[in-house]
Copies of this chain bind each other. A is one copy, B any other.
Amino acid sequence: MGKKNITFNDIAKYTGFSKTTVSRYFNNPDSLTLKNQQIISDALDKLNYQENKVARILANGKTEFIGVIIPNLYLHYYSEMLNQILKTYDTYGYKFLVFTGDDHKSTERKYIQELLSYKIEGMVILSHTIPSRELASYNLPIVTIEREDQFVSSVNTDNYMGAVQATSLLAKTGADILIHINVELSPQVPSYGRIKGFSDICEEYQIPHELILTDTGHSYEESSLILKDLLETIDSKYQGKTKGIFLPNDTFANIMLNHLIQKYGQLPDDYKIIGFDDSPVSSEAIVPISTVGQQIDKIAASAMEILHEQITERHKRKPALSSEPVHKIIPPILINRKTTEPSH
């Protein structure tokens, strides 16, 4: 049932045309009369010809391949982003070569070199390992998502705005003290906006607050132990006060919620919690968790739109000289669930 590999030779024999004529049908059909185009087209049907795109790539350089480099697929944020990127096949027809780097810089470099040798047309990069200056040197359309992006185009969530929304919501619950837990981040990383947004709004409105920047662990179990200790500290330090805690992701918010319920049998009225990402765990938790949703579908669509523009420009006879990197910011969406209800 499978289609056979039909060569130009077979087509030439069948039609009586020369191999050059057959080749022109594929690479420059307008140079043939309509009648001759029809004869060859009919022959392809008869011979059950399957287009060999590899040959076409050599002719016009359009592989329609995009490389996607992603740190891991364990975190829902990454797997959903990949999902949304892959869905753009319907729109642009690009095929995606996907690689998870797991923070191994040398394997990632080797993989990218391979991709380049396969004449991919562009890359979407979510991993953090290779600096944007090096990415820019590949001289290929590249868009990054939520990582350092000084020298390449990028699409990021408005992390600052998300933090402002989360902090304001906590303040409105009537919390006496606001707390943000995060790791130390470089100001060059987009998610640094979460730390800055929290601090700025607290200082502007003179809200009592504490910023806890610490190692939050590298596995679920580690993070769970660290957050349990932090909760004990917060619990005794701010006894009698209503505490509003802004966690850097929904997994951490769920851990904090579960520790509280295990300790008090329910979410106590003097604890307000908000996460970030709107991952499934936030709605599936025992008490649905308020969170800041990233518009992953819009981020992926914007990244592909920018990439497609750059690729299209390259295929022009006279491409525009490479311009400045484009940086697009997508607004987040505040999702108000049960863990930020005002105190009774």
Contacts and interface: CB of A to CB of B under 8 A. Distances in A.
Interface string A301-335: 00000000000000000000000000000000000
A115 interface: yes
A90 B114 contact: no
Contacts of A261: 286
Contacts of A52: 117, 119
A282 B159 CA distance: 30
A2 to B, nearest CB: 3
Contact of A286 (B114, B138, B220, B258): B258
A240 interface: no
A27 interface: no
Interface of A, secondary structure class, is helix
Nearest to A265: B265
Interface residues of A, number: 59
Interface in A66-112: 72-74, 76, 79-80, 82-83, 86-87, 89-90, 95-100, 102, 107, 111
15 contacts: A2-B137, A50-B117, A53-B114, A54-B58, A54-B63, A54-B118, A55-B58, A73-B83, A73-B86, A76-B79, A83-B100, A89-B107, A97-B98, A281-B281, A286-B286
